[in-house]
Structure 1
Amino acid sequence: MKTPICAACGCSLIRLGITQEKANSFHYNEKQYWFCCEGCLELFKTNPEQFLKETSDLTVCPVCLAEKPINNTIKHRFNGTIFNFCRCPHCLDVFKEDQDYFIRRLAWQTDYAGIFGGQDGCCKKNNSNRIQE
């Protein structure tokens, strides 16, 4: 199952708590790509092919939402669909307890506040938790 990953930085938008309504999107070569912030979208536009090459093999663990190269995952088939898990055996065990929830979350079909607890994600300029330089 394909979950939204920022095509510039490789972060899982689900993990960041960025909903489809708040995500930045861009059509390139007749395909829609998602971004965690406007900065990543603008960066992507500078060299789309480079960023697509760098992020093309990334997948997201349905449970911990870790972004991993697909070759560094454990595959599990559920209802005819292959899911890729990080190598932590706990994630697969937790998935088996409530597969439907994790599948819906991975596909942007549930409410999930993400690691930032419902704020505007990691890269918003008005984020009060952002580290000041």
Structure 2
Amino acid sequence: MDTIICTTCGCSLVRLGISKDKASTRTYEGKTHFFCCDGCADLFVTDPGKYMKETSDLIVCPTCLAEKPRQWATKVNVGERDVYFCRCPHCADLFQQDPDFYIKRLEGAVPNEGVLGHDGCCIAPE
């Protein structure tokens, strides 16, 4: 499942309420990286390899939107895909009630106010 995680701090942009079009971005080696704020984007360019290594194995629970290292997550096969959850059994149970909603929300296809609203954490309102 493709979800946007800040390459510097590891926060889920969906959890924060930041859509792809509102996220700060930087391109490194031909790939666009998304960030929760310009501060994280600027920090990333100082040592891209360090930050990519630190955040490359993070997953986001589709139900509670918690970020976890993959080794601390529970993998469940849903249809033809593996879905990773935080270890809370409630999250996997709740997901089963409406898997399409949770997958679409995690992919950013369903608007989500997040914990900070659509302005993001450090992005000044327009």
TM-score (norm 2): 0.95
- 1:52-88, Cα deviation, whole Å (9 max, x unpaired): 0110111100000000000100001112111100000
> Which residue matches 1:51?
51
Hey, what does 2:107 align to over in structure 1? 107
How far, CA to CA, are the matches of 1:28 and 1:60 in structure 2? 23
User: Matched residues in 2 for 1:104 and 1:119: separation?
Assistant: 17
Q: Corresponding residue for 2:24?
A: 24
Secondary structure at the aligned position of 2:63 is classed as coil
2:93 is aligned with 1:124: no
**Aligned partner of 1:122: which letter?**
C
**Aligned equivalents of 2:75, 2:53: Cα separation in 1:** 22
Per-residue deviation, 1:23: 0.7
Which aligned pairs between 1:83-98 and structure 2 lie closer than 5 A?
83-98=83-98
* Greater shift in the superposed pair: 37-46 or 22-31: 22-31
Consecutive unaligned residues of structure 2, counting only runs of 5 or more, are none
2:23 counterpart letter in structure 1? A
Q: Deviations over 1:9-63 (max 9, x none)?
A: 0000000000111011222112221101111000000000000011011110000
User: What is the distance in 2 between the residues matched to 1:119 and 1:35?
Assistant: 14
Output the CA distance in 2 between the equivalents of 1:87 and 1:119: 28
Provide the residue aligned with 1:5 in structure 2: 5
RMSD: 1.1
2:19 and 2:118 in contact (8 A); partners too: no
Q: CA deviation at 1:124?
A: 2.8
Residue type of the alignment partner of 2:106: L
Moved over 2 A (4+): none
Equivalent pair of 1:26/1:41 in contact (CA under 8 Å): yes
1:119 is displaced (CA, Å) by 4.3
